[in-house]
């Protein structure tokens, strides 16, 4: 039978069958072909082949993984050092949209984190957008506004919403309709609250930062795939565990330029062509772009930092 991964840990997964029943499944034979050695073999959104346990109808075994259309993944230091493949954590598979959920305050606005989420989405070949939640807390900060407007001018959709007072939720609902989206963001930005607000029938718990994050495994068990509205609209959202830092992976330093929207058209255009490091070379189109205001200085700093991390193989991994 065919089913979709709703949530899970390393070897136990909740699978929803095409008929709509949820089963508690293990991977048959412990190792799944094609994903041997990765930090987690399956992610919410994966389609699998499974069989029901003949003696226990709510349990089953996963037999195989269907080829993925895409996967949003991250570097995870918990797996680092054992096998390199074990450091790659699959966060969500087969998604239509990555939503970087952020806030104007509480927790503070972190544009560099947004840069990383947008970059990793581009690497995975998934369209992305920015959801600014907690609109109700908006402080008139010109720096935040400037950065948000820059994201819009680069071409990223921005949705300003408040899970608390409902502002912008109808627009968000329309935007997500018919898609499988994944919410990525630091803990406390309101990912669970938004999912609850989009479908109040979901009994997913929200809590204060401490309630949720003092209890290790609770976080993992909360993340997963949620149905916002069923057929015919088929709107789903995958919530993810809070990520404090995101180390892009799946590319080499010199490729970062291709995955940042406003940088990509300039690739190869510098006087030193593709060997330009965009730090000090004369005739560097990236630096000229920054000087002319076509590239935001902050985006340039993100670009340099990420390129350097990839070059030095530094991964500022941090887990919550």
With binding defined as CB under 5 A, does residue 270 bind Zn ion?
yes
The Cα–Cα gap between 108 and 152 comes to: 20
Q: Which of 22, 36, 51, 136 binds ligand GDP (CB under 6 A)?
A: 136
With binding defined as CB under 6 A, does residue 192 bind ligand GDP?
yes
- The stretch near Zn ion (CB under 5 A) out of 207-215, 219-227, 237-245, 285-293 is 285-293
Task: Judge contact between 1 and 49, C-beta under 8 A.
Answer: yes
Residue 126 binding: pick among ligand GDP, Zn ion, none (C-beta 5-8 Å cut-off by kind) = none
The Cα–Cα gap between 189 and 82 comes to: 32
With binding defined as CB under 5 A, does residue 62 bind Zn ion?
no
The Cα–Cα gap between 200 and 127 comes to: 27
With binding defined as CB under 6 A, does residue 137 bind ligand GDP?
yes
Q: Which is nearer to Zn ion, 67 or 252 (CB)?
A: 252
The Cα–Cα gap between 31 and 34 comes to: 9
List 12's β-bridge partners, or say none: 26
Residue 71 binding: pick among Zn ion, ligand GDP, none (C-beta 5-8 Å cut-off by kind) = none
Closest separation in Å from C-beta 218 to ligand GDP: 11
The Cα–Cα gap between 257 and 275 comes to: 12
With binding defined as CB under 5 A, does residue 74 bind Zn ion?
no
DSSP state of 263: T
Output the CA–CA distances (angstroms, integers) from residue 40 to 13, 61, 114, 201, in the order listed: 11, 16, 24, 29
With binding defined as CB under 5 A, does residue 278 bind Zn ion?
yes
Q: Which is nearer to Zn ion, 39 or 303 (CB)?
A: 303
Residue 133 binding: pick among Zn ion, ligand GDP, none (C-beta 5-8 Å cut-off by kind) = ligand GDP
**Residue closest to 154 by CA, chosen among 130, 135, 187, 174:** 130
List 60's β-bridge partners, or say none: 25, 52
Q: Which is nearer to ligand GDP, 128 or 307 (CB)?
A: 128
Q: Mask 148-187, x = binds ligand GDP (CB under 6 A)? A: --------------xxx--------------------x-x
Q: Which is nearer to ligand GDP, 41 or 242 (CB)?
A: 242
| C-alpha 129: how far from chain center | 11
The Cα–Cα gap between 264 and 268 comes to: 9
Summarize as ranges the residues that interact with ligand GDP (CB under 6 A). 133-134, 136-137, 162-164, 185, 187-193, 206-208, 212, 242
């Amino acid at each position: 039978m065919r089913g979709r991964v709703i949530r899970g840990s390393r070897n136990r997964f909740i699978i929803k069958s095409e008929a709509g029943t949820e089963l508690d499944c293990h991977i048959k034979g412990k190792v799944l072909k094609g994903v041997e050695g990765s930090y987690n073999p399956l992610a919410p959104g994966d389609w699998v082949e499974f069989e029901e346990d003949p003696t226990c109808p709510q349990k089953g075994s996963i037999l195989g993984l269907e080829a993925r259309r895409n996967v949003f993944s991250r570097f995870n230091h918990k797996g680092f050092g054992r096998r390199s493949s074990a450091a790659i954590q699959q966060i969500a598979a087969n998604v239509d949209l990555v939503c970087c959920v952020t806030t104007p305050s509480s927790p503070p606005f972190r544009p560099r984190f947004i840069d990383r989420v947008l970059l990793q989405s581009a690497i995975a070949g998934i369209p992305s957008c920015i959801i600014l939640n907690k609109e109700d807390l908006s402080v008139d900060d010109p720096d935040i506004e400037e950065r948000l407007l820059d994201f819009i001018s680069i071409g990223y959709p921005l949705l300003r919403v408040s899970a608390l007072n409902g502002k912008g939720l109808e627009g968000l609902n329309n935007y997500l309709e018919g898609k499988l989206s994944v919410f990525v963001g630091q803990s406390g930005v309101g990912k669970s609250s938004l999912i609850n607000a989009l479908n109040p029938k979901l009994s997913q718990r929200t809590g204060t930062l401490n309630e949720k994050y003092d209890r290790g495994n609770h976080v993992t068990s909360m993340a997963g795939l949620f149905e916002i509205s069923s057929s015919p609209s088929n709107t789903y959202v995958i919530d993810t565990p809070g990520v404090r830092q995101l180390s892009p992976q799946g590319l080499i330093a010199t490729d970062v330029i291709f995955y940042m929207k406003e940088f990509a058209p300039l690739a190869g255009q510098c006087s030193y062509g593709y060997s330009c490091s965009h730090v000090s070379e004369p005739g560097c189109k990236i630096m000229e772009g920054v000087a002319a205001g076509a590239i935001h200085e902050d985006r340039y700093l993100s670009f340099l930092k990420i390129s350097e991390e990839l070059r030095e193989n530094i991964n500022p991994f941090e887990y919550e």
